[in-house]
Structure 1
Amino acid sequence: MSTMTSTDSTSYDSAAAETGRGRGLRLSGMNWLVWRQHRAAYWTMLAATAITVAVIVYQRQQMITYLDGYGYPDLKPGWEDKFDQGPLNSAARLLGLLPVLIGVFLGGPLLAGDLESGTAKLVNAQSASRVRWLATKLGMSALVVVVCTTAVSAAFTWWWSPVRSSSYALTWADPAGFDNSGPVPVALTLLTVVGGVAIGMLLRRTLLSMVVTLGFAVALQVVWSYFRMSLGNVITVTTHNGVGNDSAPNMPEGAHQLDEFYLTASGDLIGWGSCAEQTEKARDACLDKAQVVGWSVDYIPISQMSSMQWLGASILLALTAGIAAFVILWGRKRLV
């Protein structure tokens, strides 16, 4: 099988008898069997996490060395001029792929491989119950996923935090910043993995399950991208000083602007493109005709980022728990 998840035809009773000879992790019984069966995937994730964290620590040290020249932590104006944002942007793009990759290569084959090869029937014939087997598979895989994604998320958040309030080095409301820091990567990855497990349980074919899990992971990312900003409380600020160059509303540093409108004397809002005339004279005439007196801007301050992330992660984890319960209940009676 060309996936990271391997199948083991050794019976549960035989595996349990050999636990005393195991080296490394001191596991026994079903825990040892699941770890041994999927050790390639687990060790790959742990090793990749260690390397990723080491690279992030090095890159942050390089960034701090540069920022120290501009008075970090109280940065002086002009620090953005020569700041190399390439490593941070590249890391954000790569880390954004982790939920998809882990879901496809760990979640999809986790049960589908056993069902396709017949290992599930062999395990079912032993003394261990299906529920215990399923719970151990899900629990151990979830533990490894949580450890790895938490470590990477914490490291990336630590790396990004000195320049987080500046839109020059990642915008906090975009996926590159929001989805790679805090609890969001953990919740997104868990939902993708458990969703892949459910897909594999229903389809019972490894390759097909991986393909469908890929589609599920991409669809989840798309839905999440539309849903993300609705987690915040929108703040509206208005002005009545006209629409000249110096009349723009003042927003907190790092605020994410959602939309802006012209404000009329009657209190109505019209789109800022309503008077997008070719000449300044024509534009001013349009504004006068509409009786525009100022701006109205909707935004979300960066101070809401943490609460938005935890709220979003809670919703994702609730969905994950629901799918995990479905896997246990369905597999209890219909797995083989």
Structure 2
Amino acid sequence: MKGSLWLAWRQQRLLVACGGLVLAVAAALAVHYRSGMVDALAGGTFDHCDPGPLYCTRPGDGLPLFLDIEPLRFLGALNIALPVLIGMFWGAPLLGRDRELGTHRMVLAQGVGRAQWFTTRLALAALSTVTLSGILAWLFHWWWQPAADHSYGLFWYETTALSGSGPSAVAAALFGLATGTLAGLLTRRVLSAMAWTLSVTTATTLLAQWLHHTRLLVPPHTYVSRGTAPKPPMGEKWSTGNYGLITASGHRDSVLSCPYPSGAELKECMTRHGYVARFYEANPAGDYWTFQWYDTALFGVLAVALTAVTVLLLRRRV
């Protein structure tokens, strides 16, 4: 290792070591808590629990049954915050520190071109980012699987699962790195770049969460049951909260028009108002991957675009 690659390693080795430490701690916690989760499930305490959103209770006193998944939620929250942390503490100083101190002039005076100077440090940072975020996302998924989509565990549509796992977590981390790198180039001050990175990555993360909850990109499915027949079970679906009744002409009304779960009262009310079916809207569990690929595309395109802008501005700014 020599030249610009050696310099990039010298400047980033502490961050690489910190990333390795985070992975080691996360892996140790995942192994420990997942083992306890598997033992609790193997003990038979949860065998009577049906899949679905309703709480499972203990037969004796009726208290809800839950696995210890708070550490798992914490890992998911860390994965969601990772783009902000990588952008602020890795991306912002990547070019910003040399720009602020003026040390880039000395490096470029040694015969190292701008392209080589930038490419080596960005490549090392990007490789480390993909490794860190990818392993953390995989750890979450591996830890989560025994309790996935059960009332005593964690459903796929909960924020820490939907945004804290899968390929979207890796794309979001690269987006954070690209944001910080561009901010460092433009502001010439590490602290200013960190502040801009915090604002942009946080806003984009909140935008992705808003798109999830509004279902703009992944519309829900409509599940219909004719007459007073039992509605299709909710199971692991992500409900929109939109329940109702349908007339013969196809018009939909709120469930409050006939607020009876079943029985003669429901049948009489539906007949009186001319309702022929009931419905609810929800996203099935298979939509997890649809959400994932949309998020991956969003963050991936932004990361590539910001990196391209950085490359175009590099000759003018450095």
TM-score bin, normalised by smaller chain: 0.7 to 0.9
Residue 252 (structure 1) shift: 5.9
- CA distance in 2: counterparts of 1:262 and 1:98, whole angstroms: 44
Letter in 2 for 1:76: D
- CA distance in 2: counterparts of 1:227 and 1:126, whole angstroms: 48
Residue 273 (structure 1) shift: 5.2
Aligned ranges for residues 90-109 of structure 1 at < 5 Å? 90-109=74-93
Tell me what 1:241 maps to: 227
Tell me what 1:35 maps to: 9
Q: In structure 1, which of residues 136, 155, 161 is the aligned counterpart of residue 145 of structure 2?
A: 161
Tell me what 1:256 maps to: 238
Matched, 1:49 2:23: yes
Residue 84 (structure 1) shift: 2.4
Residue 60 (structure 1) shift: 0.7
SS in 1 for 2:280: strand
Tell me what 1:179 maps to: 163
Residue 248 (structure 1) shift: 5.2
Matched, 1:310 2:293: yes
Q: Deviations over 1:226-285 (max 9, x none)?
A: 22344435321112324xxxx5521463111123333223211234456779xxxxx999
Give the number of equivalent residue pairs: 298
SS in 2 for 1:239: strand
Residue 117 (structure 1) shift: 0.6
- CA distance in 1: counterparts of 2:258 and 2:234, whole angstroms: 27
SS in 2 for 1:250: coil
Alpha-carbon RMSD across the aligned residues, in angstroms, is 2.7
Tell me what 1:24 maps to: none
Residue 107 (structure 1) shift: 1.3
SS in 2 for 1:38: helix
Distance change (3 Å), C-alpha of 1:289 and 1:113: farther
Give ranges in structure 2 of 5+ residues lacking alignment. 51-55, 57-64, 261-265
- CA distance in 1: counterparts of 2:244 and 2:49, whole angstroms: 31
Distance change (3 Å), C-alpha of 1:34 and 1:51: same
- CA distance in 2: counterparts of 1:234 and 1:314, whole angstroms: 20
- CA distance in 1: counterparts of 2:244 and 2:283, whole angstroms: 16
Distance change (3 Å), C-alpha of 1:215 and 1:284: farther
Native 8 Å contact 2:77 2:164 kept in 1: no
- CA distance in 2: counterparts of 1:32 and 1:288, whole angstroms: 79
Native 8 Å contact 1:135 1:328 kept in 2: no
Aligned ranges for residues 16-165 of structure 1 at < 5 Å? 27-70=1-44, 76-78=47-49, 81-165=65-149
Q: Deviations over 1:45-103 (max 9, x none)?
A: 121112111211111111111111129xxx62249525223332333333332222122
- CA distance in 1: counterparts of 2:208 and 2:233, whole angstroms: 26
TM-score (norm 1): 0.80
Tell me what 2:308 maps to: 325
Bigger mean CA offset, 101-110 vs 307-316? 307-316
Tell me what 2:316 maps to: 334
Native 8 Å contact 2:26 2:75 kept in 1: no
- CA distance in 2: counterparts of 1:248 and 1:188, whole angstroms: 41
Give ranges in structure 1 of 5+ residues lacking alignment. 1-26, 278-282
Native 8 Å contact 2:79 2:164 kept in 1: yes
- CA distance in 1: counterparts of 2:175 and 2:290, whole angstroms: 20
